[in-house]
Each structure stands twice: as structure tokens, then as C-alpha cells.
């Protein structure tokens, strides 16, 4: 027979509940069979003593480039989606990705922030990290309630994006805290009409009222209840910060009442964003967040800020600069480790990286073809080791969840979150005949993240083989530099 046979591995498929020795046959980009003694094939991967699982699906990845794909491939990812921020316009972005080719499957939501920027400032720049930083200099879209005409323009741009195949609406509410409830209600109503999720970075993240994380979640729960929109909470850990327990109780009660709310988290206590983010310039930043300005660290050179004046000066000069925000001290504080556990292990929650672009020492985003990445390429370690870190620490070392449940959180749950709105996702996150042949084969005993805050661009270890759309991308731990099998994930236009 032709095709590919992954033979003799420990097949772990949370959709069927299978966890046992078997074979997976691949033909024409699809899984043809799962079982034992499936025969021969044109190409055989010997998976003896290795785990064979559906490829991990990242709902929250901002890199969206060849170098970002390659780093995520070693993290076990086969599908990488930018849903929290998204892109705008949609059609031209998908065309550009197809033209250049991608290593992993890719897709994006419609970017509410850029719809707001365009409708309220007149700018028609395409969404990008650099354009986002520049737009932060015009505070109208950040701080102002939109007029009726502006709301109409925002909704028109969002609906155009949905009609072009955008996977829901990405709502960066924390970056435009001035947005009114009427506007956001209308955005959620639009999502409900089109039967797509919203992916929300909640408006507030403080542990104290007013404008606390709890208030932000109450708003989000209200939007779900009042509009019927599927509200997905992005990076529950970094949005909830030290008030995770209170916020988790609110969300769990809302879910128990049947409201369409889902969430994700990443396994780090440190976040990352652009320096221009509105919450950094809050005059009460230290009191509201329980951290000093030295908790904010520039990615490119590791410099930590000393005070508000220094941070504001840097915001004005270099708004697009990527920074780390050290919020939870999981190395030294047991309570903070417990808070991270509450986020990462939240029942039914997905693992998602919030992977950032790779930037060079001059501050530019790296999109080149070098492998390994240039020595000065930096990002958050989650851009290289999110899923392997979760599998290593929470599944293998601590046995906080089983291997089957760990794979569920990394592959099946993300697919199920999107299944109702994006039919293409119904064929992902599972090992079954007819499913997409997106498969990760790893050594469970050695699977591990290697990226650290002092050495960010180290690929993860332990992924021995990675198959995307039926095409091997990693074979025996070696990356195929020419491989570009990534397929678009989008809704029908």
C-alpha cells in the first residue's frame, strides 16, 4: 500500500478514549485507519516506546510565520491560530500565508481592535505588531466610547471579516478599556448571529475594585447571558493574576448554568505584551497589580524598568517593543504556584501558548528562513515550550492529570471549542479514520521544554516525529527545512 504507517506506538486518542499499543495509517492527508497489524506502507515510522497522539492545537499564537511555526513544531503543535487578537483584513492575510507557505496549519479571527482603530481614527493599516504600537499613540480608539456612526463602522468591518472566513472575533478589550458596553454588546450580538465565538482579553486584570478582574468576568458572563454569544476567555492565568480563585468560581458557576463560556491558560506566571499597553500607564499600576515597575522587562535586552517615568518615556519612544510582565512568582511562592494550577488545570480548559513573535536585538520581528533561529532572536519561552512544559511538569512529573487528559487539553478540547463554528476543526484533535493527519509522536520520558527567560530560543525536546496534513515535518527529531504542508483553517467565505 502507499501512504504512511506509524507503527507500534502507544496510541493516545482522547476522542475515543484509546490508550494502547497500535498503528496509525495515513493516506492522502487523512487518517485511513487506527488499529493493530495494519500492514505495510510506502513509508513507515517505527513508534515503538513512543506516544502517538493528535497534534496539539494552539488557539492563541501571535507568531504566524515560518520561524514561529518551526519553534512550535518542536512543541508538538500542528495547528496554530491567532484568535485573541486576530487579523484585519482577513482575505488578504490568508492569501499572503498561502503564497509564502506555512509549516503548520494556520488561521485567525477578525481583529476588533483594528476595526476600532480604522473606524475611530481613519487609519487603514493592516494589522501587525508594529502597526498596533503606532496606533497606540492615538488614544481616541483606546480611551473613547465609540459614537453610533463609529460603532456601525466597527461592526461593518467585523462582519466583512467574518464573511471572508474569519474564525470568530478577537476582542482585545484590555487594550481599549474605553470601549462601551453598548458597543461590546453589539459585537457579541454580531458573533451570535454568525454563530462564532469571541476570544476576549478581558478589560481589567486588577485584584482590587473598581475595574478588577472579577468585574471584567462579570461583564463577560453578562455578554454571554444577554446575547447568547460563545465567550472564550484568553489566558485565564494572566488575566486573573492573583485573584484566580475568585474568578474561577464565577466562571464555573456561569458554565454550570449553561452559559457558552470556555477558557484557556498557559503554564507560566509571566506574561508578555507590547509596551504601549494601556494598563502599564495606569497611575495606580503598582497598587492595582501588586507588582512594581521592575516586573516589566524588555524582551530584546532583558532590561527591567525602574519607575513610572522611565516606562512612560519608553512607551512614547518605542510603543511596539515586546516586554515580559512577571506577575506570579512560581519559583519561590507556593501560593502563586497554586494559583497557576487553578488556571492550567481548570476542568475543560484548553492549553494555549499566547506565543509571541520572535524579535531581533534591533527590535524588528524576525520572519526569515534561518534555522536554528538567529542567536539574538528572543521571545517569551512559551513561544517555544508551552505544551511540552505542561506535559512535562503537570502530566509526567506531578501526574496532576493522566496522559490521556493531558492530550485532551492540548488537542481535543481546542478542536471542540471551535467545532460548532468552524467545520474544518471537527476533523482535528483526534485519531480516527477520516480525521486530518496531524500527528505528534513523542518520547514521553524525555519530552521537555528547554526555553528559559535567560535562553528563550531553545527548541523543546522529545518530539521525535511531527506530521502535518499527512506530510512529515520532523523526522527522527530533525526538521525538514523545505516542508510547507500547513493548510488554512477558516470558515467558508
Clarify whether residues 180 and 217 are in a common domain: yes
Looking up residue 152, the CATH number of its domain turns out to be 3.20.20.140
How is residue 60 written as a grid cell? 492563541
Listed range (7-11, 96-100, 206-210, 370-374) with the worst mean pLDDT: 206-210
Let me know: does 230 contact 263? Beta carbons within 8 Å: no
Q: How far is CA 492 from CA 73, 83, 154, 193, 342, in A?
A: 27, 17, 22, 15, 36
- In a domain? residue 493: no
Clarify whether residues 324 and 423 are in a common domain: yes
Clarify whether residues 340 and 391 are in a common domain: yes
Q: How far is CA 422 from CA 193, 239, 473, in A?
A: 14, 26, 25
Last residue of a domain, one of 366, 399, 427: 427
How is residue 252 written as a grid cell? 464555573
Q: What are phi and psi of 403, to 5 degrees?
A: -60, -40
Question: How many structural domains is the chain composed of?
Answer: 2
- In a domain? residue 219: yes
Last residue of a domain, one of 407, 427, 447: 427
**What's the rounded Cα separation, in Å, for the pair 217 and 235?**
13
- The kind and range of the H/E element at 57 are strand 56-58
**What's the rounded Cα separation, in Å, for the pair 220 and 173?**
11
pLDDT tier for residue 299 given thresholds of 50, 70 and 90: confident
pLDDT tier for residue 465 given thresholds of 50, 70 and 90: very high
How is residue 364 written as a grid cell? 524588528
Share of the chain above pLDDT 90, in %: 88
Contacts of 144 (CB under 8 A, 6+ apart): 120, 178
Clarify whether residues 151 and 90 are in a common domain: yes
Clarify whether residues 371 and 318 are in a common domain: yes
Looking up residue 34, the CATH number of its domain turns out to be 2.30.40.10
Clarify whether residues 48 and 87 are in a common domain: no
The yes-or-no verdict on residue 485 having pLDDT over 80 is: yes
How many angstroms separate the first and last alpha carbons of the chain?
37
- In a domain? residue 291: yes
Q: Which has the closest alpha carbon to 48: 5, 8, 106?
A: 8
pLDDT tier for residue 2 given thresholds of 50, 70 and 90: low
Q: Strand pairing partners for 9?
A: 22
Clarify whether residues 407 and 462 are in a common domain: no
- In a domain? residue 137: yes
Name the pTM for this structure.
Answer: 0.96
- In a domain? residue 215: yes
Res 196: pLDDT: 98
Q: Exposed/middle/buried for 75, CB within 10 Å: 0-12, 13-18, 19+?
A: buried
Last residue of a domain, one of 399, 427, 455: 427
Res 320: pLDDT: 84
Compute the average pLDDT of residues 33-46: 92
Contacts of 309 (CB under 8 A, 6+ apart): none
Helix/strand/coil for 12: strand
Res 100: pLDDT: 96
How is residue 70 written as a grid cell? 518551526
Q: What is the mean pLDDT of the chain?
A: 96
Q: How far is CA 389 from CA 362, 382, 447, in A?
A: 29, 9, 8
The yes-or-no verdict on residue 50 having pLDDT over 60 is: yes
- In a domain? residue 485: no
Clarify whether residues 49 and 61 are in a common domain: no
Clarify whether residues 87 and 39 are in a common domain: no
The yes-or-no verdict on residue 117 having pLDDT over 80 is: yes
- In a domain? residue 491: no
Listed range (68-77, 205-214, 222-231, 405-414) with the worst mean pLDDT: 205-214
Helix/strand/coil for 99: helix
The yes-or-no verdict on residue 1 having pLDDT over 70 is: no
Strands (E), 135-284: 169-172, 198-201, 231-233, 261-265, 270-274
Counted residue by residue, the chain has a size of 493
Compute the average pLDDT of residues 56-76: 98
Clarify whether residues 167 and 24 are in a common domain: no
Compute the average pLDDT of residues 355-370: 93
**What's the rounded Cα separation, in Å, for the pair 145 and 143?**
7
Let me know: does 85 contact 93? Beta carbons within 8 Å: no
Clarify whether residues 90 and 20 are in a common domain: no
424 half-sphere exposure, CB direction, 13 A CA radius: 19
- In a domain? residue 487: no
The yes-or-no verdict on residue 318 having pLDDT over 90 is: no
Please report, for the chain, how many H helices and E strands are present, in that order: 16, 20
Residue ranges making up the domain that contains 102: 56-427
Compute the average pLDDT of residues 133-153: 95
How is residue 40 written as a grid cell? 505495510
Dihedral sign (CA 455, 456, 458, 463): positive
Clarify whether residues 280 and 306 are in a common domain: yes
Res 288: pLDDT: 87
> DSSP letters along 338-393, please?
HHHHHHHT-TTPEE---BPPPB-TTSPBP----SSPPTT-B--THHHHHHHHHIII
Amino acid at each position: 500500500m502507499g501512504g504512511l504507517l506509524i507503527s507500534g506506538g502507544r496510541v493516545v486518542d482522547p476522542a475515543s478514549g484509546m490508550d494502547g499499543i497500535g498503528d496509525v495509517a495515513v493516506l492522502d492527508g487523512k487518517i485511513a485507519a487506527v488499529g493493530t497489524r495494519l500492514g505495510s506502507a510506502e513509508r513507515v515510522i517505527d513508534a515503538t516506546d513512543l506516544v502517538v497522539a493528535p497534534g496539539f492545537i494552539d488557539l492563541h499564537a501571535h507568531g504566524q510565520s515560518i520561524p514561529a511555526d518551526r519553534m512550535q513544531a518542536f512543541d508538538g503543535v500542528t495547528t496554530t491560530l491567532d484568535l485573541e487578537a486576530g487579523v484585519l483584513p482577513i482575505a488578504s492575510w490568508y492569501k499572503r500565508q498561502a503564497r509564502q507557505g506555512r509549516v503548520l496549519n494556520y488561521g485567525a479571527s477578525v481583529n476588533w481592535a483594528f476595526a476600532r482603530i480604522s473606524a475611530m481614527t481613519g487609519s487603514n493599516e493592516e494589522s501587525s505588531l508594529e502597526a498596533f504600537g503606532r496606533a497606540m499613540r492615538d488614544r481616541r480608539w483606546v480611551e473613547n466610547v465609540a459614537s453610533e456612526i463609529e460603532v456601525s463602522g466597527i461592526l461593518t468591518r467585523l462582519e466583512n471579516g467574518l464573511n471572508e472566513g474569519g474564525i470568530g472575533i478577537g476582542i482585545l478589550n484590555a487594550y481599549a478599556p474605553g470601549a462601551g458596553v453598548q458597543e461590546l454588546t453589539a459585537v457579541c450580538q454580531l458573533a451570535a448571529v454568525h454563530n462564532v465565538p469571541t476570544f476576549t482579553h478581558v478589560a481589567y486584570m486588577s485584584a482590587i475594585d473598581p475595574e478588577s478582574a472579577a468585574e471584567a468576568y462579570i461583564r463577560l458572563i453578562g455578554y454571554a447571558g444577554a446575547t447568547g454569544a460563545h465567550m472564550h476567555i484568553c489566558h485565564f492565568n494572566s488575566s486573573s493574576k492573583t485573584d484566580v480563585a475568585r474568578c474561577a468560581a464565577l466562571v464555573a458557576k456561569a458554565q454550570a448554568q449553561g452559559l457558552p463560556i470556555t477558557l484557556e491558560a498557559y503554564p507560566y506566571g509571566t506574561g508578555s505584551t507590547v509596551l504601549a499597553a494601556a494598563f502599564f500607564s495606569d497611575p495606580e499600576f503598582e497598587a492595582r497589580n501588586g507588582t512594581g515597575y521592575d516586573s516589566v522587562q524588555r524582551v530584546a535586552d532583558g532590561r527591567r524598568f525602574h519607575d513610572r517615568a522611565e516606562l512612560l518615556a519608553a512607551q512614547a519612544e518605542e510603543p511596539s517593543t515586546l516586554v515580559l510582565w512577571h506577575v506570579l512568582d512560581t519559583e519561590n511562592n507556593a501560593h502563586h504556584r497554586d494559583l497557576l494550577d487553578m488556571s492550567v488545570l481548570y476542568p475543560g480548559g484548553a492549553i494555549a501558548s499566547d506565543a509571541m513573535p520572535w524579535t531581533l536585538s534591533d527590535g524588528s520581528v524576525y520572519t526569515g528562513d534561518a534555522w536554528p533561529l538567529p542567536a539574538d532572536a528572543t521571545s517569551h519561552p512559551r513561544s517555544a515550550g508551552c505544551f511540552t512544559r505542561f506535559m512535562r511538569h503537570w502530566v509526567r512529573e506531578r501526574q496532576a492529570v493522566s496522559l490521556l487528559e493531558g492530550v485532551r487539553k492540548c488537542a481535543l478540547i481546542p478542536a471542540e471549542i471551535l467545532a460548532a463554528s468552524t467545520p474544518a476543526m471537527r476533523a482535528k484533535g483526534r485519531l480516527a479514520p477520516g480525521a486530518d493527519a496531524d500527528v505528534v509522536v513523542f518520547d514521553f520520558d524525555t519530552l521537555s521544554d528547554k526555553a528559559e527567560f535567560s535562553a528563550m530560543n531553545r527548541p523543546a525536546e522529545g518530539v521525535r516525529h511531527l506530521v502535518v496534513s499527512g506530510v512529515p515535518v520532523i523526522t527522527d527529531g530533525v526538521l525538514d527545512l523545505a516542508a510547507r504542508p500547513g493548510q488554512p483553517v477558516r470558515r467558508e467565505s
